[in-house]
Amino acid sequence: MILCVVGPTGVGKTKMSIELAKKYNAIIINCDATQVYKELNIGSAKATEEEKEGIPHYLLDFKELNEDYTIYDYQKDVRNILDNNKDKNIIFVGGTGLYLKAALYDYRFTEEENNVNKYDNLSNEELYQLVKKKNPNTEIHQNNRQRLIRFLNKKEIVLVPPKSLYKHLIIGLTTSRDNLYQIINNRVDTMFKNGLLEEVENLYKKDKTSKPLQNAICYKELYRYFNKEISLDEAIELIKKNTRHYAKRQYTFFNNQLDVNWFNVNYSDFNKTIREVEQFIEENYNDKSR
């Protein structure tokens, strides 16, 4: 059985995935583009060892910050895990919808086109706008010219309608917009109490400036603070704002690209939501799984 727990940032995906993994004796596969990297812990809301409760987690906290890890790399790695664990129940958890789609659907990559000089006359801004048209949720930094060109040269083919390669059921956790925004704001405040500023400062002092640090929310804003471009208060407000905008983009992708079964989270009694999800899985896995 393959279950997927998705939803906007901060909604409660990690807790739900752990509870489902315990019930179904499952392993968990990370589906968050930032959480694949080591050293990005507090800012990426990575599950702690205590939160994991001894459940095996894959593709989590395993890449160095200077390593380039693409969707294609994720697809190869995750399918190896699926092939090697056919006898186990598996739970995907995370907010990077494109990772999940590349893992479970017939999302194909071909060799890069032999047009390395095709974009030589374009500025970084023009390249970035072309990339945004191809993938509105791109995390490639505007100043990373080499990756922008490489992305534009790469052919990516999605079959329409997309063909699911693995039977799976997608569970989406949601809440009202006002409540989600409050959760996001509170979570950012909690991150700072838990040492986010110190985590990013340590990376900054090591002169680490790789792609994840240039693009990941929490890290890119605090790097601007350490560069004395903005104040700490401005950085905090920017983190909250960018996280809210990211949540909007996540909803757009999940609703338009994936067959998600949504559940409104009961934050006063999360166990009630867990029971509702478990009941839904028991009643619908074979009928609604793709």
Residue pLDDT, tens place only, 232-264: 999 999 999 999 999 999 999 999 989 999 999
- Residue 287 is predicted with a pLDDT of 67
- The domain locations on the chain are 2-110+155-288, 111-154
What is the residue-averaged pLDDT of the chain? 90
Q: With contact defined as beta carbons under 8 Å apart, do 243 and 184 qualify?
A: yes
pLDDT in tens, 9-64: 999 999 999 999 999 999 999 999 999 999 999 999 999 999 999 999 999 999 99
pLDDT at 116 > cutoff 70 = no
DSSP line for 195-230 = THHHHHHHHHHTT---HHHHHSTTHHHHHHHHTTSS
Torsion angles phi and psi, residue 142, rounded to 5: -60, -30
Torsion-angle region of residue 96: left (phi > 0), alpha (psi -120 to 50) or beta?
Answer: beta
With CA atoms as reference, report the closest residue to 36 among 3, 8, 63. Answer: 63
pLDDT at 202 > cutoff 90 = yes
Task: Report CA-CA distances (Å) from 152 to 119, 121, 140.
Answer: 9, 14, 11
In percent, the amount of the chain with pLDDT more than 90 equals 71
With CA atoms as reference, report the closest residue to 255 among 178, 172, 166, 180. Answer: 172
- Residue 189 is predicted with a pLDDT of 98
pLDDT at 269 > cutoff 60 = yes
- Residue 121 is predicted with a pLDDT of 73
Amino acid symbol at 282:
E
First vs last C-alpha separation in the chain = 11
CATH superfamily for domain 2-110+155-288: P-loop containing nucleotide triphosphate hydrolases (3.40.50.300)
Cis preceding linkage at 136, omega within 30: no
pLDDT at 126 > cutoff 50 = yes
**Rounded mean pLDDT of 113-135?**
74
Measure the CA–CA gap between 11 and 162, rounded to whole angstroms.
27
- Residue 110 is predicted with a pLDDT of 62
- Residue 135 is predicted with a pLDDT of 77
With CA atoms as reference, report the closest residue to 78 among 55, 62, 54. Answer: 62
- Residue 117 is predicted with a pLDDT of 58
Residue 133: band (very low, low, confident or very high) from pLDDT cuts 50, 70, 90: confident
Q: Beta 107-109 vs 156-158: how paired, if at all? A: antiparallel
- Residue 288 is predicted with a pLDDT of 65
**Higher pLDDT, residue 275 or 209:** 275
**Rounded mean pLDDT of 186-199?**
97
Which helix (H) or strand (E) covers residue 155, if one does?
A: none
- Residue 176 is predicted with a pLDDT of 96
In percent, the amount of the chain with pLDDT more than 70 equals 92
**Higher pLDDT, residue 16 or 129:** 16
**273: number of Cβ within 10 Å:** 19
Q: With contact defined as beta carbons under 8 Å apart, do 170 and 259 qualify?
A: yes
pLDDT at 289 > cutoff 70 = no
**Rounded mean pLDDT of 108-122?**
62
- How many alpha carbons fall within 13 Å on the CB side of residue 279? 7
DSSP line for 228-281 = TSS-HHHHHHHHHHHHHHHHHHHHHHHHHHS-EEEEE--TT-HHHHHHHHHHHH
**Rounded mean pLDDT of 220-232?**
96
pLDDT in tens, 139-191: 788 888 877 877 777 766 555 557 889 999 999 999 999 999 999 999 999 99
Which residues have C-beta within 8 Å of that of residue 274, sequence separation ≥ 6? Answer: 16, 19, 20
